[in-house]
Structure 1
Amino acid sequence: MTIIIIALTVLISWQAFNNPALKAQLLFVPAAVKERGEYHRFLTHGFIHADFQHLLFNMYALYIFGGSVEYVFSEYLFGPTVGKVAYLLFYLVAIVAASVPDFLRHQDNRMYASLGASGGVAAIIWPYVMLDPWNWFIFPPLPAILLGVGYIAYSSYADKRGEGNIGHNAHLWGAVFGLVAYSVLVLAFEPALMQYFLQELMTPRGPNF
């Protein structure tokens, strides 16, 4: 399912790179949602990107984190078939949920627009963190738990500063959604996974590279 999401996102983003009219129809524009009821924009903006670098970064992150999260949904939470569907819904709902705060903030600003899969990708980070909190990354050289906490902290800080054209608010709320929604699912369907996370969290380990 992760590969299918990546392939579909790459295809639609590539089409939007060369078709400004298509891009305009898929962008998240809060004012258009409020004034014209174009609710599809909550979701469709997650399948287009500003440029190839933006697309590459998001799809690489989804590839790195998504496979492990998809495996847990399929093998531990819901079973092979339902698990893949649940994983897809988790990703799609995250894109929508991460956009709601921006809608509330910018619904009367006709100049505001955003795009990208960052909200969905950010949501995938926390299930991965909770699978192996002390798995170290080569870059940045941090364990997953510090990367997850740092991601939320930096996104909140950068959003308050209004740095650049990056949608830090979507990053923040996508990550928060991922943490909360995944925790609820685990506690409801497989509490042993939460116990495993807490046990792992209490036994830190150094880098293995």
Structure 2
Amino acid sequence: MTQFRPPSYNAIPPVVKNLIMLNVLMLVATWALKSFGIDLTEKLALYYPGSPHFQPYQFVTHMFMHGGFMHLFFNMFALYMFGRVLEMVWGPKRFLIFYFITGLGAAAFYTLVNYIELSSLRDSVAAFINTPSPELLSTFVKEHLKNASPWVYDLINNWMDAPNNPAYINQGTELVQRILEMKMNIPVVGASGAIFGVLLAFGMLFPNTQLMLLFPPIPIKAKYFVIGYGLIELFLGVRNPGSHVAHFAHLGGMIFGFILIKFWNRNSNSFY
């Protein structure tokens, strides 16, 4: 008779293990192919649909791309710590469905927010082109170009000394159009949207589980950790809309994770 042995808590279930392996392989491939002049990020990262680099498949492929080792490490560490518990509770199929829906939902939510921001930026560009002035350019740069190069401020100052100079008008127009193009061509990479969905799910399924923070090193219940993390992401997303960190993608992963769990749980008192 074969003796039954329950799975070890430290064991890595198949979906989490394969997701970690795939993400690691993609980062290694990105590094390796770059030496041959092949930029995987340009092909597989998620670009805004109005960008010339955009392809529909990027909504999936960007989830397996990362900006560097530390970006990959923290995402995969969270997937290992929290994802394996969810997979053991839900099973591989349901966990994989949850992972991809939250990742795709995060990308969709981020794209929507990006659309709203870029629509506002287009309106500002159109207003500048209609009535170009150094004062308007100064305001535009402060709002849309963080840490601008010194030559940008030299252009503004020189233009103020000669407000009717057509050369400065042309340079200012080219600059605002270049900023719009740059914003449209910012790539998004990482599994963070799905990872934040996993964090949300863990907080909902195991709300009173004690987690130990690293900074500061204090215990906190999972439900408070998730709520606090979500509020921080919302604050940072609103406070720093031009940030290179896709805060609204993180928030989108949590929102879609919450909706999906509520949908699964609509006729039951348990999540599994």
CA drift at 1:118: 0.2
SS of structure 1 residue aligned to 2:211: coil
State how far apart, in whole Å, the 1-side matches of 2:33 and 2:93 are. 30
Identity %: 27
CA drift at 1:113: 1.5
Question: What one-letter code is carried by the residue in structure 2 that aligns with 1:27?
Answer: A
CA separation of 1:42 and 1:161: change in aligned 2, threshold 3 A: same
Match of 2:63 among 39, 43, 46: 46
State how far apart, in whole Å, the 2-side matches of 1:92 and 1:110 are. 25
1:138 aligns with 2:212: yes
| Structure 1: gaps of 5 or more residues | 75-83, 197-209
Indicate conservation of the 8 Å contact 1:17/1:51, yes or no: no
State how far apart, in whole Å, the 1-side matches of 2:258 and 2:86 are. 12
State how far apart, in whole Å, the 2-side matches of 1:177 and 1:97 are. 6
CA separation of 1:105 and 1:129: change in aligned 2, threshold 3 A: closer
Larger RCO (alpha carbons 8 Å, 6+ apart): 2
Instruction: Select the structure that is richer in helix.
Output: 1
Moved runs in structure 1, 4+ residues, more than 3 A? 34-37, 105-109
Alignment of 1:1-150 (within 5 A): 1-20=15-34, 21-31=39-49, 38-74=55-91, 84-106=92-114, 109-140=183-214, 141-150=219-228
CA drift at 1:37: 6.5
Bigger Rg, which one? 2
**TM-score, length basis structure 1:** 0.80
Partner of 1:203: none
Indicate conservation of the 8 Å contact 2:49/2:55, yes or no: no
Indicate conservation of the 8 Å contact 1:30/1:102, yes or no: no
May I ask how many residue pairs the two structures share in their alignment?
Answer: 183
Question: What one-letter code is carried by the residue in structure 2 that aligns with 1:126?
Answer: L
CA drift at 1:97: 0.7
| Structure 2: gaps of 5 or more residues | 1-14, 119-182
Partner of 2:4: none
1:147-205 deviation digits (Å, cap 9, x = unpaired): 111111111000011174221111111011111211211224xx1216x9xxxxxxxxx
CA separation of 1:167 and 1:36: change in aligned 2, threshold 3 A: closer
Indicate conservation of the 8 Å contact 2:30/2:40, yes or no: yes
State how far apart, in whole Å, the 2-side matches of 1:92 and 1:159 are. 23
CA drift at 1:39: 0.9
